[in-house]
Amino acid sequence: MGQEVSAVPETTKPENLSERSLPAVADYIKSGKARKVVVLTGAGISTAAGIPDFRSPETGLYANLAALELEEPEDVFSLPFFKENPKPFYVLAKDLYPGKFHPTISHVFISLLATKGLLYQLFTQNIDCLERAAGVPADLIVEAHGSFASQRCIDCKTPYPDDKMREHVSRAEVPHCEKCNGLVKPDIVFFHENLPSLFFDRRHMAEEADLILVLGTSLTVHPFAGLPDLAPFEVPRVLFNMERVGSLGSQPDDVLVLGDCDTGVRQLASALGWREELEAEWRKLVGDEEADRQLEGSSKRQVELHDEVSQLVHDVDKVLHVHDVSSSGSSSPSPEAVAEKEPIAATQQEVQQSESASVKESVETTTLTEEVKVSGA
């Protein structure tokens, strides 16, 4: 683990770190230079909890949904498609709804940052609410793509009761507004919807950060993907991810920790002298049985996720075919809706500080583009 891949020449010295490594990041934190830590999280932080991400080739939901008769697998999370046929979304929601999953040690690490007064802001793409469950204070969380924490009618915007929402989701049934009979949808951001205003109100905090931690995100969903590039050029940025993404690895103080998030986070905690405290807090929160399950290893989790995702896709497929038979129209979104989808954004690996204007423009985009993930990026 550590700086395994970088676009920065070895002869280029970091400006704030002693070297591009986790021990150097730990020294930077312990020195008191990191008092405004901004954390960005995506789906990779929740996979150990048993929540599938969307982009993995074998276990990702999009890869499996691609086999169904949809214009695009992302259509299940498209607002036009939802308005026409909301049932597939609720079939997925039944198995992805908060309450059956537990925080990972990476979630608890973020909570520990908050406890120690170091967390300036958490921006998450995830809608699983595990940051809240881990104890991260609500006022330090920006759920950029919304969450399952609340829901409302898509027509009259009347909030829908939590208990009734849970009942409908548990049966994979579509809830309707008690006031106007419109469709009810969780307050998660679908395609063609604006991001929460809180995201734009607090994005400046990424510019004010003295340390950026990026965990488990592909950084392909805008405007979230532009956040790491808002930080000043000399600010250390640490990526915990399976592969290099965005512009991470292109600046002198970037540290890439390539692998699963939990392993990298444990290494940083060890370097900080927090490992024992972190492990104890995590086990206290989730219990020994769940902790041991998460520690069983990625290979077994991959098999479990593959089986779970295959079953989910099978259930969605049945719903789609029932809809096709019962509906006189097509269950696919309109050509106009498909045309509205933007192509995958160009890689940011070559983005430098001199292009900050274009980066800010990306972050200021108000609607979700590329894709939204059930757990995040």
CATH architecture of 22-145+189-363: 3-Layer(aba) Sandwich (3.40)
Q: Structure pTM?
A: 0.79
Whether 54 has a binding-site annotation, put simply, is yes
In which element (H, E) is residue 310 found?
Answer: helix 298-326
Classify domain 149-187 at the CATH topology level: SIR2/SIRT2 'Small Domain' (3.30.1600)
Using pLDDT thresholds of 50, 70 and 90, give the confidence band for residue 326: very low
Same fold, 22-145+189-363 and 149-187: no
Whether 177 has a binding-site annotation, put simply, is yes
The per-residue b/e assignment along 130-167, b for 16 or more CB within 10 angstroms, e otherwise, is bbbbbbbeeebbbbbbbbbeebbbbeeeeebeeeebee
Using pLDDT thresholds of 50, 70 and 90, give the confidence band for residue 315: low
Cβ(38)–Cβ(211) below 8 Å: yes
Q: What are 86-139's pLDDT values in tens digits?
A: 988 888 888 778 888 999 999 999 999 999 999 999 999 998 999 999 999 999
List the one residue out of 175, 202, 203, 199 whose CA is nearest residue 189.
Answer: 199
Q: What share of the chain is helix, strand, coil (3-state, %, to 5)?
A: 45, 15, 45
Using pLDDT thresholds of 50, 70 and 90, give the confidence band for residue 348: very low
Q: What are 197-226's pLDDT values in tens digits?
A: 999 999 999 999 999 999 999 998 889 999
pLDDT of residue 250: 95
3-state SS, residue 367: strand
Which pair of structure tokens corresponds to residue 64?
């499996």
Using pLDDT thresholds of 50, 70 and 90, give the confidence band for residue 266: very high
Look at 26-30, 319-323, 344-348 and tell me which has the smallest mean pLDDT. 344-348
Whether 129 has a binding-site annotation, put simply, is no
Mean pLDDT of 347-356: 39
Q: Say which DSSP state 4 is in.
A: -
Whether 45 has a binding-site annotation, put simply, is yes
Domain spans in the chain, listed from the N-terminal domain onward: 22-145+189-363, 149-187
For residue 53, what are the CA distances in angstroms to 46, 259, 293, 320?
A: 8, 15, 18, 22
Is 222 annotated as catalytic?
no
Mean pLDDT of 228-243: 96
Whether 181 has a binding-site annotation, put simply, is no
Report the Cα 363 to chain-centroid distance in Å: 16
List the one residue out of 136, 277, 147 whose CA is nearest residue 199.
Answer: 147
Whether 47 has a binding-site annotation, put simply, is yes
Catalytic residue among 145, 176, 321, 323: 145
pLDDT of residue 202: 97
Q: What are 145-175's pLDDT values in tens digits?
A: 998 889 999 999 999 999 999 999 999 899 9
